[in-house]
Amino acid sequence: MKHASQKIAREYFLAALPLFFLQVVFGLLASVKYVWGYDPLLSLMPFNIARTIHLNLLVFWLLLALMGATYYMVADELDTDIYSVRLARVQLWLLLVSGVAAIVGYIFHWSFGMPFLEQPTAIKVVIVAAALIFLYNIAMTMFTNHHILTRTTATLMGGMVMLSVMFLFGIPFMPNLSTQYYFWWWVIHLWVEGAWELIAASLVAWSLIKLTGVSRKTVEGWVFAEVALVLLTGIIGTGHHYYWIGTPHYWLVWGAVFSAAEPIPIVMMLVDAVRDLLKARTLPIVNTLGLAWLGAGAFVHFMGAGVWGFGQTLPQINRWTHGTQITASHGHFAFWGAYGMLAIALMYAILPEISGRKPNGKQGLSFAAFMSLNFSMIFMVMALLIAGIVQVYLQRVMGLDFLEVQNHLRVWFEVRLVAGGIFFLGTALLLWDLFRLATPLAAAERVAEPEAVPAA
């Protein structure tokens, strides 16, 4: 850590982690409902509310983690203090309070009712205010002393601006459902396959430089090319969501061609990460866990977003699979690989620098968390994939009724529930490990662990 103001990242992470834990709790609740015949919580907490909270917590904890990491990374890259720690703290509290208010509101049917964007308009306005504070604070940090932006910071800024602008299209109520969904995808698709990819590409590049010791020139060489391809394929690739929602037929062609190319930049990111990790073998590794999450994340990102996404992006296939458990499988795999694992990697990379602890202190615990989370996620997405394939066959091809088919899928929902249970335990281990890593070393412990004291 170079500057005291960077410590704000720790507060963002400590806020994000309990939200991640709650996200998993509500996910478990929703998956129990798939196994139960009759839902005893039907009037108290029906499936839609559990799912809404699951989705909202996902967005909130990831945003908080990525924003915290952004503050840390920009100050680190430009070797400067953050413009205003107080603004950063105001922003954090605005987001936390609005998030909690939204979640409590859902229980009382206070909802805008568009998936992921269920926050009532008043809360969306507060979120926009928090985003503006964030952009202002980051821009002032970047430009106050006329720093020359690195490629990674420039990409990050681009992603954050895109993130904020796109969110605006999710705010208005539109009488026409097709138009509403047309612009809903400007938020959902252009976030996860646009803005968030830029943010991820930049944070991954920064962590690779930091954790592997491979030269900036090597790592940054590809960043702009990757980003150019992400935007070139991703923007018009939005068309793969415009096949069946009342939009013209030509989207079947445009959406197919451009979205089929979307895995190319993801493959480049994977190759990039593997190349840097191989180079780093000869260098002294200081943060094994950060690298493990980063490398595994690049692979799961490729599988979940690239392979699973490509698998149903062509309209000939999507016509049958659209709106089934196959989409649920893809959603879990891609979000975990592209963003969940990245957020965790960033916490493993940054927290030891703030707390002054050794990054590799309790390897047994850290690896138990790593293994249980990743393997249970793979079991979960496999169970959902098989459920989805059976569903497509029975429901779409054979024409059986939806609920009758759901009964046939129960065994796969049971497998998913067990996997979810293991994922829950993994989350508990991860939180324990990261909270330990976030606790600053007391003076007495510093004597016991002298090598952990930062050189500066």
Residues within window 9-68 making contact with another protein, judged by CB under 8 A: 30, 33-34, 37-39, 42-43, 46-49, 51-52, 55
Give min distance, CB of 361 to another protein, in A: 40
Q: Judged by CB under 8 A, which of 232, 286, 415, 431 binds another protein?
A: 232
- The residue among 39 and 81 lying less far from another protein, judged by its C-beta, is 39
Amino acid at 215: S
- The residue among 139 and 245 lying less far from another protein, judged by its C-beta, is 245
Helix axis angle for 223-237 and 177-190, nearest 10°, is 170
Is 330 in contact with 416 (CB distance < 8 Å)? no
Contact flag: residue 130 with another protein (CB under 8 A): no
First to last CA, the chain: 8
- The residue among 1 and 200 lying less far from another protein, judged by its C-beta, is 200
398-427 residues near another protein, rule: CB under 8 A: 398-404, 406-407
- The residue among 107 and 428 lying less far from another protein, judged by its C-beta, is 107
- The residue among 29 and 130 lying less far from another protein, judged by its C-beta, is 29
Give min distance, CB of 76 to another protein, in A: 22
Return all residues near 385 (Cβ < 8 A) that are at least 6 apart: 308, 325, 326, 329
Show the site string, 189-228: x = touches another protein by CB under 8 A, - = not. Answer: -----------------------------------xx-xx
Contact flag: residue 320 with another protein (CB under 8 A): yes
Which pair of tokens denotes residue 121?
Answer: 């308009």
- The residue among 194 and 297 lying less far from another protein, judged by its C-beta, is 194
- The residue among 30 and 64 lying less far from another protein, judged by its C-beta, is 30
Q: Judged by CB under 8 A, which of 139, 168, 328, 418 binds another protein?
A: 328
Cα distance between residue 238 and residue 258, in whole Å: 8
Cα distance between residue 135 and residue 164, in whole Å: 9
CA angle, residues 400, 405, 410, in degrees to nearest 5: 170
345-374 residues near another protein, rule: CB under 8 A: none
- The residue among 34 and 335 lying less far from another protein, judged by its C-beta, is 34
377-396 residues near another protein, rule: CB under 8 A: 395-396
Give min distance, CB of 38 to another protein, in A: 6
Give min distance, CB of 238 to another protein, in A: 7
Cα distance between residue 391 and residue 406, in whole Å: 8
**What's the residue count for the chain?**
456
Cα distance between residue 56 and residue 115, in whole Å: 9
Give min distance, CB of 231 to another protein, in A: 5
Among 6, 13, 2, CA closest to 438: 13
Give min distance, CB of 36 to another protein, in A: 8
Return all residues near 132 (Cβ < 8 A) that are at least 6 apart: 164
- The residue among 11 and 272 lying less far from another protein, judged by its C-beta, is 272
Give min distance, CB of 24 to another protein, in A: 18
Give min distance, CB of 59 to another protein, in A: 14
Give min distance, CB of 8 to another protein, in A: 30
Cα distance between residue 363 and residue 369, in whole Å: 10
- The site that binds another protein (CB under 8 A) totals a number of residues, namely 74
Query: What is residue 442's DSSP assignment?
Result: P
Give min distance, CB of 322 to another protein, in A: 4
DSSP string, 88-150: HHHHHHHHHHHHHHHHHHHHTT----STT--S-HHHHHHHHHHHHHHHHHHHHHHHTTTPPPP
Is 300 in contact with 337 (CB distance < 8 Å)? yes
Give min distance, CB of 31 to another protein, in A: 10
Cα distance between residue 200 and residue 197, in whole Å: 5
- The residue among 397 and 448 lying less far from another protein, judged by its C-beta, is 397
- The residue among 417 and 425 lying less far from another protein, judged by its C-beta, is 417
236-275 residues near another protein, rule: CB under 8 A: 236, 238-239, 242-252, 254
Query: What is residue 441's DSSP assignment?
Result: P
154-183 residues near another protein, rule: CB under 8 A: 173, 175-179, 181-182
Cα distance between residue 447 and residue 53, in whole Å: 45
84-123 residues near another protein, rule: CB under 8 A: 106, 109, 111-115, 118
Q: Judged by CB under 8 A, which of 84, 164, 218, 327 binds another protein?
A: 327
Which pair of tokens denotes residue 238?
Answer: 């939005």
Give min distance, CB of 44 to another protein, in A: 10
Among 288, 93, 305, 296, CA closest to 197: 305
